[in-house]
């Protein structure tokens, strides 16, 4: 089991990306990832209030409490743009994953 898991963890570790939420905005608002490769995305909420990270195209929807983080597995993405929002502050908190 360890070796099977080791392969996927190692592959994911090469494509590990981080977004932060601060003052209800994402940094960076545009995150470039390699197309057609699995990746992990960690979203760190530096605000004191919860935020819901939501992306229909990435198929992610999760509430991240204040001063907490969550890590998601991104499936291999075709080239393109994948919008995401912080649903609790949708006017300010928005961005895109750009797979290329
Ligand atoms: Cu939602």
Q: What is the pLDDT of residue 4?
A: 56
For residue 61, the CA-to-ligand 1 centroid distance in Å is 6
Token couple for 52: 């819901």
For residue 33, the CA-to-ligand 1 centroid distance in Å is 23
pLDDT in tens, the chain (100 residues): 555 555 555 554 579 999 999 999 999 999 999 999 999 999 999 999 999 999 999 999 999 999 999 999 999 999 999 999 999 999 999 999 999 9
For residue 1, the CA-to-ligand 1 centroid distance in Å is 35
Q: What is the pLDDT of residue 83?
A: 98
- Judge whether 77 and 53 are in contact, CB under 8 Å: no
For residue 100, the CA-to-ligand 1 centroid distance in Å is 26
For residue 56, the CA-to-ligand 1 centroid distance in Å is 9
For residue 98, the CA-to-ligand 1 centroid distance in Å is 21
Q: What is the pLDDT of residue 70?
A: 98
């Amino acid at each position: 089991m360890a070796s099977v898991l080791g392969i996927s963890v190692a592959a994911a570790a090469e494509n590990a990306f981080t977004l932060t939420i601060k003052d209800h905005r994402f940094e960076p608002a545009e995150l470039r990832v390699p197309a057609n490769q699995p990746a992990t995305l960690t979203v760190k909420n530096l605000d004191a209030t919860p935020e819901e990270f939501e992306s229909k195209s990435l198929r992610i929807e999760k509430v991240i409490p204040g001063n907490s983080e969550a890590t998601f597995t991104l499936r291999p993405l075709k080239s393109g743009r994948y919008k995401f929002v912080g649903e609790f502050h949708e006017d300010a908190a928005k961005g895109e994953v750009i797979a290329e």
